[in-house]
Amino acid sequence: MTQTRSERAVDLLVIGGGTAGIVAAKTAARFGADVLLVERDRMGGDCLWTGCVPSKSLIAAADAATRARTSAELGVSASVVAVDFAAVMRHVRDAISAIEPDDSPEALESVGARVERGSVRFVGRREAEVDGQRIRFGQAIIATGSAPVMPGIDGLERVEALTSETVWDIDELPDRLLVLGGGAIGCELAQAFARLGSRVTLVQRNARLLPKEDEAASAVVEAALTADGVDVRTRTELESVEPAPGGGGTAALSVGGEVAFDRILVALGRTPRVDDLDVAAAHVRLDDRGYVDVDDALRSSNRRIWAAGDVTGLPAFTHLAGVGGSTAATNAVLGLRRRIDRDAVPRVTFTHPEVGAVGVLPDDAASHGCTVSEIRHEHTDRAIAESETSGFTRLVIDRRGRVRGATIVGPRAGESLGEACLAVSAGLTTSAISSATHPYPTYSDALWNAAIADVRSRLERGALATVIGLLARLRRLATR
């Protein structure tokens, strides 16, 4: 393509240096494309700086505090546990620093992509400006992510409310923490801060926590948070906030009067970062929620522009952002039509116990013509040995014996979920799972036993049971 002196040309322009953008740029560069990635802030995105890495580091510290405080069921207890919150936050930041090099400009440049810092604005169907300099692109990928939602509650703007982005800047443990939102982020942080010593009140407007998960899983998580000292208020909304002199204040609730707090943490969802892009100039359509409207191949209404990650409105998970980045880059550079499998997207809520889920929810099994095979962890030997028996494993199974979904509640549920993800994605049957030897004793033993229970149930009914009975009788006669 021709270019003027003031105009640059690239094969692929990647906008955003989070997980989706980084994976997209590396993928395209390895295919030999001339790639320019532009990030206006810092490489690594939300996952590295304000999401997965810091939250799991904080949760690890909170778990350590809880284990040290008491394990009475195991015959071990401690009367005094000292939490140095400033040291906890140093641990969090050290974890970020250790992982940051993997997402650095140097890491991308080592595989052939170029990285620049700046702000991007579209000025045409295949043109953009980076801090005023015109860029002409063959293809582009929007990977600008999302930002926390801040509700318009009276008085909230006067108390320096924290979000999942800013909570990592504090070094003093709040004595009284009010958490708004009972989704995954709200539950994880509420439990972590309670375990570290904060008096936490969690306000959730829905009837239960984790409303997108299996209802039984929500009940287990609510019981766990309550046991850790979290004051859970469901069917409740924050109506107004009255700041107090010197910090903190009082929150008026729709149910239950008032709650005093030192800090408020808002975890009420996220909104796409598209405001500064001028996507209309590129003829890129947004959906009614403001996300980039893409098809299953992640192509936008502009055939040269793709999108990946949170900005698409697909489930906001780092692992899906990475898959999306790879998919969008492959399609853009090679002209393929690889598609995102929306039915096999796993998710994990990293409370204790964890909630891992993929595919069809057990609550929705009947509407999909499926049945549920369940193993309670009170019958799982590893859970019994560790006195962690409140969880369960549920498989959603269709009429052909294929696994269509799974929900696992328990320690390391996210680690056990991988096998279920493969089963849902590949259409594996419970017979295939049950025929594979599994390690013992593990929490994943529950998934194996749930598969075995389904197979046993199928063998004991219908025509197959008749055939088995006949074969057994014939074999008995033959061996007399």
pLDDT higher than 90, residue 191: yes
pLDDT higher than 50, residue 210: yes
- How many structural domains does the chain have? 3
148 contacts 68 by C-beta, under 8 angstroms: no
Domain boundary among the residues 215, 239, 268 is at 268
* Domain identity same for 279 and 141: yes
pLDDT tens for 322-370 read 999 999 999 999 999 999 999 899 999 999 999 999 999 999 999 999 9
Q: Tell me whether residue 334 is in a domain.
A: yes
* Domain identity same for 374 and 435: yes
Coil, helix or strand at residue 78: coil
* Domain identity same for 163 and 252: yes
Domain boundary among the residues 234, 268, 302 is at 268
Helices (H) and strands (E) in the chain, counts: 13, 23
When pLDDT is cut at 50, 70 and 90, the band that residue 478 belongs to is: confident
* Domain identity same for 260 and 278: no
pLDDT tens for 122-151 read 999 999 999 999 999 999 999 999 999 999
* Domain identity same for 203 and 257: yes
* Domain identity same for 23 and 35: yes
When pLDDT is cut at 50, 70 and 90, the band that residue 269 belongs to is: very high
* Separation of alpha carbons 393 and 63, rounded Å: 22
Q: Tell me whether residue 1 is in a domain.
A: no
- Strand 114-117, strand 249-253: pairing: unpaired
Q: What does the pLDDT average to over 153-157?
A: 95
pLDDT of residue 6: 63
Q: Looking at residue 178, which CATH number applies to its domain?
A: 3.50.50.60
Element (H, E) at 151: none
Domain boundary among the residues 322, 342, 362 is at 342
Query: Which domain, by its residues, includes 241?
Result: 156-268
* Domain identity same for 306 and 289: yes
pLDDT tens for 433-450 read 999 999 999 999 999 999
pLDDT tens for 452-463 read 999 999 888 767
* Separation of alpha carbons 352 and 296, rounded Å: 34
Question: Taking each helix axis from N to C terminus, what angle separates 52-69 and 85-99, rounded to the nearest 10 degrees?
Answer: 140
pLDDT higher than 80, residue 77: no
Q: Tell me whether residue 300 is in a domain.
A: yes
* Domain identity same for 311 and 408: no
pLDDT higher than 90, residue 476: no
* Domain identity same for 336 and 389: no
Q: Mean pLDDT in the chain?
A: 94
* Domain identity same for 308 and 395: no
* Domain identity same for 124 and 180: no
When pLDDT is cut at 50, 70 and 90, the band that residue 318 belongs to is: very high
pLDDT of residue 278: 98
* Domain identity same for 41 and 130: yes
pTM of the entire predicted model: 0.94
* Separation of alpha carbons 410 and 412, rounded Å: 6
